[in-house]
Structure 1
Amino acid sequence: MDTVNEVSSSLTFASSYLSNGSCNDNISTCNDPGPSIENLSLSKLSGNFEKLLIDPEYDYSDAEIVVEGIAVPVHRCILASRSQFFHKLFKKRNDSSAKEDGKPRYLMTDLVPNGGVGYEAFNIFLHYLYTGKLKASPPEVSTCVDEACAHDACRPAINYAVELMYASATFQMKELILLAQRRLLNFVEKAFAEDVVPILLVAFRCQLNQLLSHCIHRLARSNLDSVSLERELPCEVSKEIKLLRVKSQPEDESTVMEVDSIHEKSIRRIHKALDCDDVELVKLLLNESDVTLDDAYALHYASAYCDPKVVKEVLSLEPADINLRNSRGYTILHVAARRKEPSVLVALLTKGAHVSDTTLDGQTAVAICRRLTRPKDYNEKTVHGKESNKDLICIDLLEREMRRNTMSAKISDSSQLIADDLHMRLDYLENRVAFARILFPAEARVAMEIADADSTSMYTGLSTRKGSSGNLREVNLNETPSVQTKRLQLRLQALLKTVEMGRRYFPHCSELLDKLLEYDMPDVFFLEKGSAEEQRTKKLRFKELKDDVQKAFHKDMAEKNWSGLSSTSSPKEVLGYKARKRSSLRLIIFIEV
């Protein structure tokens, strides 16, 4: 262990210096126990080096390493003296990556291409390089948000240890490799089979034979299916695991396992078609064989590995059991919960997946999701207009679905609507969805995908100007009134379903939109209440109000020299302008004349 020897040499040098220096003047002092003096000196030295990391006044860094988009300042002399990897890296003197201030910049993704090293793990590693002390694991990235979890083998704890191992192995710190390997070995027997996979991968890539062998035998004893082994592990490793399983089976059973039956070949073809996103081929293969979607566990496979749109298309094929359990006792929703893709979860829940179903060891989908989520991700602040964290979205919608009562609202029959009423509802819904897309892009996209809102007539909300080709009211001379009405009704139903999906799965977002709209936007459905004469009076008054507000709006624009709100306006800007002119701007935005 070269690095250990280097550290020992440093300790010996420090001890020798103290013994041969000032101690010569006082023999009695030199007779005191040496280790206490050495420990005190080394502790002080460690504290001095730590200042370079934590105290801004001691920022004399001469390089940067970018981790997860954050530039971490480092001192090349310290890194090079502690690690041969950095010594060779800095010796190349590649100035092409230098910034304007002359500091070279290195990307962690380039330094560790086979495995990601997170910001927290790298800082712990860096602290060890500078001080020789290994800090405790940061709980925000090494624990999960499941309150019932002991955090002794949950996925965040494993992922953090794996990141530390990638850093230690890549940067050639042998003493840290031994510590990280010991920690990972403790996880192998405690963790779920799926969570052993990242441990096996780091052992394989970093050539840690003891750890690799332990993981292989653990997975060989597990009930992790062959499809998952082939998809997630290197070919030679998955073959070795299968071979161990065959050897452990009685001769009659092992003979059967070696035979690749026609049934199994058909299933493999279906999976390969799903890998290619070719749902039409899947449909053809189903018609040509006796294999069904359930036989192939096609929805399990698609929910784990395929594009969300493919999952939705497979759900539309022949009837399948949405709550089917695979050989491990996992439902499709359980598999999707491990993936943590909101649109897949919503598609399954919409089709009737039971959110309260448990695995054989008693885990619900939301418990699975929580055991995979770090507090850092779960507690990340949601910023309107930016992508929300998928971990938080998944947990929130699964928990809410657990508590949700049966929806009582139904899509009303819009065939009885007259043209003005139809346009009025469309205006309101289009612009409600538009604001959702601006403030909550991730949530809005999921709701629109499930509701097929993108497949109907082109969107005409805030981002669409009058006279554009996407306007729903645009007259098509080749389109009869009945065809146009049908087109608008289809769009209305898609938008109603989008809003319904938003209220069901993202109620907090919907509440904010309700508050945003309720002050300035008259209740559209208020105009339908009352007798025919009352409705006509309301609509006439409403039209007059629109004209008055439009005039006031244009006058205000001329005085303030404003061009209106764009689709990129922040919520603060929208609300601020609303406070200045409550009844003008947004009525014009929401209901175009």
Structure 2
Amino acid sequence: MILEIDKNMEYGNEISSSPTFTSSSHLSNGFGSENHVMEIGPDPENLSLSKLSACLENLLVNQEYESYNDAEIVVEGNVVVGVNRCILAARSPYFHKLFQQQLEGGRKPRYEMSEMVRYGLVGHEAVKVMLQYLYTGRIKASPRDVSTCVDSNCCHVACGPLINYALELLFASATFQIKELVLLVQRHLLNIVEESLMEDVIPILVAAFHYHLNQLLSTCIERVAKSDLNNVCLEKELPPEVYGKIRSLRLELELVTTESDLVLEKQIQRIHKALDSDDVELLKLLLSESNVTLDEAYALHYAAAYCDPKIVNEVLSLGLADVDLKNRRGFTPLHVAARRKEPLVLVALLNKGACVAETTPDGRTAIDICRRLTRAKDYNENKKQGEPSNKDRLFIDVLETKMRSSESENVGVPSQEITYDLHMKLDYYENRVSFARLLYPAEAKVAMEIADADTNTCKVVLNESATAHTTRLHLRLLTLFKTGINHHLFRNSAVFSIN
């Protein structure tokens, strides 16, 4: 989806419905009874402005002009972007005020984007598009690698990466008081709110609230109020003022009904607060004193969305929660975890038998959810050996591996295989896993936990019979083999290819 300049805009908070003007004009000469139309050729003034725009663009795109930049902005990922203070100060009141500070020590001043933008992160690509507009007056097409997801079935009209990119552009343009760009992004978000998944409307609503975009805010509030998102989720993720408005609107629409429902809601809130405070003992006490169960409170869903991974493990260890229970929206805890993309939560659910093939009412699996939230840039990024891995790619790889695991679980080791061959195979897989831990620590940790390989160590047992010894070697080999399968993302390295 490409963000393009819409000329139906006027300055102000709301969007105008003024007529659209095209680049070619037609005038009537007024002679006779017929209207003779004369087409105007290229406007010299427009040509001059276009040339000026192209020249200023060199400061951004041409390395030969980098030395003329007199300041730097550090954006997400510690990427340094050179800027020209003269141009930015003339185009933005915010930068005009910021750059009034004198140059210290003859060095280029450096500004941290994270310190300037109060709400949300702004990536390198969004900063470059914003600077392009300030320098040239033109909007570049949305960079595809950060505005498209890796779901092959998505049309990329309202997927997670596109919304996040638009919000980054909004954060930057609103902070730096670039009103035309704010209006443009607001128009774009208004066009996609109705097509977005309900979960993706929440960050749009929060941004509209913080930056006082009243038209966008009212549209989002109306859609959320009529949705099936529960009040627990809304209270957790929305500013109190916004949640209060939605709550009142739902009461008016009679979406919150009887007094008994309110009593049940308070009991569920106590359970969720116990989870928030990491107090499992309090959780047990609340369960014993009320008629509300973990499943009725959707406690595992809540923990998967908001709590520390260790709390997810502790809730699962109680043995009182259905790991594949669907909430009122038809989501299992694994679906919820797919939106959060925390590997340790994923491991906890999978180790308790969570079904990867379960679908939401609209037919999406946990893999589909994760793919629709993952940028092409992140998924295709090649990390150097030993560097922290991208959680998005790791999450998708683990889920896809688990989906295929039914085929591999039946893979056994022939019983007639001699002990010598078992030791040879064990050495191979032990070495492979050791290399994995060294070169790909994040992936190795997740794979080892899923296969439970650390606990199934191959220790020497005295007075062990030959049959028991062979059986133990078989078990260890199968565990390591499963670990290797979970490391299928090592396909980029020949050392870890599975024969």
TM-score (norm 2): 0.81
Change (3 A) 1:236 1:3: closer
Tell me what 1:215 maps to: 220
Letter in 1 for 2:242: V
Tell me what 2:286 maps to: 285
- Structure 1 residue 505 and structure 2 residue 486: aligned? yes
Tell me what 2:71 maps to: 63
Superposition map of 1:162-561 within 5 A: 162-249=167-254, 254-256=257-259, 260-261=262-263, 263-406=264-407, 407-408=409-410, 432-450=432-450, 499-509=480-490
Change (3 A) 1:454 1:104: farther
- Which residue of the other structure, out of 46, 69, 77, is the alignment partner of 2:53? 46
Q: Distance in 1 between matches of 2:432 and 2:267?
A: 46
CA deviation after TM superposition for structure 1 residue 199, in Å: 0.6
Taking only the aligned residue pairs, the percentage that are identical comes to 57
Change (3 A) 1:481 1:371: same
Query: Which of 1 and 2 has greater Rg?
Result: 1
C-alpha offsets along residues 148-188 of structure 1, whole Å, 9 cap, x if unaligned?
11111111111111111111110001111110110111121
CA deviation after TM superposition for structure 1 residue 452, in Å: 5.8
Tell me what 1:575 maps to: none
Change (3 A) 1:317 1:496: farther
Assess if the C-alpha contact under 8 Å between 1:141 and 1:374 holds in 2: yes
Letter in 1 for 2:394: I
Q: Which has the higher contact order (CA 8 A, sep 6+)?
A: 2
Letter in 2 for 1:93: Q
Letter in 1 for 2:147: S
- Structure 1 residue 117 and structure 2 residue 122: aligned? yes
CA deviation after TM superposition for structure 1 residue 277, in Å: 2.3
Taking only aligned residues, the RMSD between alpha carbons, in angstroms, comes to 3.7
Assess if the C-alpha contact under 8 Å between 2:412 and 2:478 holds in 1: no
Assess if the C-alpha contact under 8 Å between 2:343 and 2:446 holds in 1: yes
CA deviation after TM superposition for structure 1 residue 311, in Å: 1.6
Point out where structure 1 has 5 or more consecutive residues left out of the alignment: 5-31, 461-471, 474-479, 483-490, 519-593
Letter in 2 for 1:256: E
CA deviation after TM superposition for structure 1 residue 426, in Å: 9.3
C-alpha offsets along residues 485-526 of structure 1, whole Å, 9 cap, x if unaligned?
xxxxxx9999768635523422343996965999xxxxxxxx
Assess if the C-alpha contact under 8 Å between 1:155 and 1:371 holds in 2: yes
Q: Distance in 2 between matches of 1:279 and 1:504?
A: 35
Q: Distance in 2 between matches of 1:400 and 1:40?
A: 56
- Structure 1 residue 158 and structure 2 residue 160: aligned? no
Q: Distance in 2 between matches of 1:165 and 1:225?
A: 27
Instruction: Report SS of the residue matched to 2:282.
Output: helix
Q: Distance in 2 between matches of 1:498 and 1:513?
A: 21
Tell me what 2:88 maps to: 79
Point out where structure 2 has 5 or more consecutive residues left out of the alignment: 1-8, 13-38, 464-471
Moved more, 222-231 or 402-411: 402-411
Instruction: Report SS of the residue matched to 1:260.
Output: helix
CA deviation after TM superposition for structure 1 residue 189, in Å: 0.9
Instruction: Report SS of the residue matched to 2:247.
Output: helix
Letter in 2 for 1:83: S
C-alpha offsets along residues 321-373 of structure 1, whole Å, 9 cap, x if unaligned?
22111010111111111112233223323322222221111112111111111
Higher helix share: 1
Instruction: Report SS of the residue matched to 2:156.
Output: coil
Q: How many residues align?
A: 455
Instruction: Report SS of the residue matched to 1:86.
Output: helix
C-alpha offsets along residues 304-333 of structure 1, whole Å, 9 cap, x if unaligned?
112223222222112422211101011111
Tell me what 1:128 maps to: 133
Q: Distance in 2 between matches of 1:90 and 1:306?
A: 42
Q: Distance in 2 between matches of 1:300 and 1:498?
A: 29
TM-score (norm 1): 0.69
Instruction: Report SS of the residue matched to 2:356.
Output: coil
Change (3 A) 1:293 1:398: same
Instruction: Report SS of the residue matched to 1:80.
Output: helix
Change (3 A) 1:213 1:412: farther
C-alpha offsets along residues 7-40 of structure 1, whole Å, 9 cap, x if unaligned?
xxxxxxxxxxxxxxxxxxxxxxxxx969701001
Tell me what 1:12 maps to: none
Q: Distance in 1 between matches of 2:74 and 2:475?
A: 44
Q: Distance in 1 between matches of 2:498 and 2:250?
A: 61
